[in-house]
């Protein structure tokens, strides 16, 4: 087996002879600062590249002022889920606004809000069949996470 040897101490005279000048022995604090600087440089080189923030879709299916005024529910969901508001695309389903296929592919998740409407209203509200079709498309994308709240 190989034996480890303790490092030999270098005298100030030997340092002076090797460097050809005055003997400057670094203080322990200077050594610690140099080690810390080298460690920080290594951490910066090894830091993984930042990925772009994930995008999320918020599908508003309620149009009653009590729930949608001032974006109350939208901001509540963003806060509870811990996703910054800037990472969301907000769609008013009741106005017929839904994400298209290209947008759907760019999302990491979707929130479908609750509503006082229900699927039985499909005959009188054209956006409900559109939402049902969108849900079928979402179901075909297993990577896409969905939170759906009480509907109807």
Instruction: State the pLDDT at residue 91.
Output: 95
- Ordered by where they begin, the domains of the chain are 12-46 (no CATH), 55-148 (3.40.50.880)
Residue 6 confidence (pLDDT):
46
Question: Average pLDDT over the chain, rounded to whole?
Answer: 78
3-state secondary structure 28-68: HHHHHHHHHHHHHHHHHHHCCCCCCCCEEEEEECCCCHHHH
CB 99 within 8 A of CB 89: yes
Give the CA radius of gyration of the chain: 31
- pLDDT of residue 76 exceeding 70, the answer is yes
d(CA 135, CA 69): 25
Report yes or no on whether pTM surpasses 0.85. no
Higher-confidence position of 111 and 119:
111
Confidence category of residue 41, pLDDT binned at 50, 70, 90? low
d(CA 57, CA 106): 9
pLDDT at res. 2: 45
| Arithmetic mean of pLDDT, 47-53 | 64
pLDDT of residue 57 exceeding 60: yes
Question: Poorest-confidence range of 5-9, 49-53, 97-101, 124-128?
Answer: 5-9
Is it the case that residue 72 has pLDDT exceeding 80?
Answer: no
Which distant-in-sequence residues (6+ apart) come within 8 Å of 75 by Cβ? 85
Residue 135 contacts by C-beta under 8 Å, 6 or more apart in sequence? Answer: 112
What per-residue confidence (pLDDT) applies to 136?
Answer: 94
Backbone angles phi, psi at 57, to 5 degrees: -110, 135
**Does pLDDT of 128 surpass 90?**
yes
């Amino acid at each position: 087996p190989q034996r480890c040897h303790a490092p030999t101490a270098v005298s100030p005279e030997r340092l002076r002879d090797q460097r050809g000048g005055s003997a400057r022995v670094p203080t322990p604090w200077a050594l610690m600062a140099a080690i810390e600087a080298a460690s920080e440089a290594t951490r910066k080189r090894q830091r993984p590249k930042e990925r772009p923030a994930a995008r999320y879709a918020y599908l508003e299916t309620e149009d009653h002022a009590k729930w949608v005024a001032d974006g109350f529910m939208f901001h509540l969901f963003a806060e509870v889920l811990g996703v910054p508001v800037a990472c969301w695309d907000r769609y008013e389903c009741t106005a017929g606004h839904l994400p298209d296929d290209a947008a759907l592919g760019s999302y990491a998740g979707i929130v479908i809000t609750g509503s006082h409407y229900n699927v039985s209203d499909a005959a009188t509200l054209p956006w409900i069949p559109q939402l049902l079709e969108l849900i079928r498309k979402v179901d075909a994308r297993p990577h896409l996470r969905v939170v759906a709240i009480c509907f109807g």
